Each structure stands twice: as C-alpha cells, then as structure tokens.
Chain A
C-alpha cells in the first residue's frame, strides 16, 4: 500500500495517559499535515511539518500537544495527559509540497475513558 499510513486505527487511553499517533507519508512526500475531527464537527487544521521542521502549528493547542517529523521514521502526534475532550478522529495527510493535493490517511480514532 503506497498510501498514507496511520497507526493505530483505534486507540483507547485512560485520562492522564499519553497518546502517540503515527503517520507515514506517501513515498516521495516530504510534507505532512495533521487534522482533528471532533464528534459531530468539521475537520480542523492542527500542524504542518516538513522533515525535521514545523512549518505552521497555529492550530495546535498550546499545552499537552506536540508533533514531530524526524529525518527518519514516521511523523508523530503526541498528546500528553489526555482528557475526555481529546476524543476525536485524527487525520494525517501528506503532499510533495507546493500547492499539490493532499493525500489523507484513514485516521486514528482516539477514545479517552
């Protein structure tokens, strides 16, 4: 499968735990985007990364959330000390850069108990 790979597909955490969501972009894509879809709401931009750089993090909550896209390996969205309100579907997309279409992964459904 040469598409955008996200894992896990489903993640259950208890309040206070950490959640790590992974995204491997399509082959040849060096730009990664993370979006969040809260229940019954539309998609919202979180962060845009290139390899080893955060380009735009204007949509990231100021606390507990961080993202990285290392030189090797997948992009990681990390949520520390999760709360019920973090329950959502988190989508990753990638593109080769410039104004090109973004290709989306199948998402990670995060549930907080």
Chain B
C-alpha cells in the first residue's frame, strides 16, 4: 500500500524559531508536493519537486530520492505561518492521483 508519513503531527514553536517538518514515502515517486492549509480555508501549493532543493522566501523544501524523504523548513517563523502543512506525492507515472500525508499542524506563538 502506498503511504505518505509526516512528522510531527503537531508542532508548537515560538516566533523566530527554525522549523522542520518531515515527510517519508514508501515507493518511487515522480513528484512530491508541499501544501499549506489554513483553518477553514483553502489549500495553497507551496512547492513541487522531484529532486534537490527549492526555496521561496522563508520556506525551503528538500528531497532525498534515495532515502525517500523530504523536509520542509521555515526560517524565522511567524504567527502567520500557523497552518496545516501537507505533503503529497505522485506515485510512479500517476499524473493526477495525489496521495496525501495526514498533515502537520503548526502553531507559532508570538
């Protein structure tokens, strides 16, 4: 069974802290996505990557294909970063069928 595991499930941080959220998956993928979901709100696509590292503002996403692992980092965290962060993958040749992790609920305290 294809699975996507995220850790931690919940994370509380103080403003300014460096945050890491982890994602591991079980078989070969064609792409990995990091998404952000605010309470009661929509979903925003943060990154799509298949190798290496991507950076956007204070967010950095890395992927290690050999270890089947990805991390999302947030530098200088801020209360507005509080949200659920979701890892999702396209397995094999599947273009549309995203498999999602259960999400990491991040709360950044001022």
A contact set with B: CB distance below 8 Å: 31, 33, 35, 41-45, 48, 55-56, 58-59, 91, 93, 97-107
Contacts and interface: CB of A to CB of B under 8 A. Distances in A.
Interface of B: 30-31, 33, 35, 41-45, 48, 50, 86, 88, 90, 94-103
A45 B97 contact: yes
18 contacts: A33-B96, A33-B98, A42-B103, A43-B88, A45-B98, A48-B97, A56-B94, A56-B97, A58-B97, A99-B31, A99-B48, A99-B50, A99-B95, A101-B45, A101-B48, A102-B45, A104-B42, A106-B42
B42 A102 contact: no
Nearest to B90: A99
Contacts of B97: 45, 48, 56, 58-59
Contacts of B86: 42-43
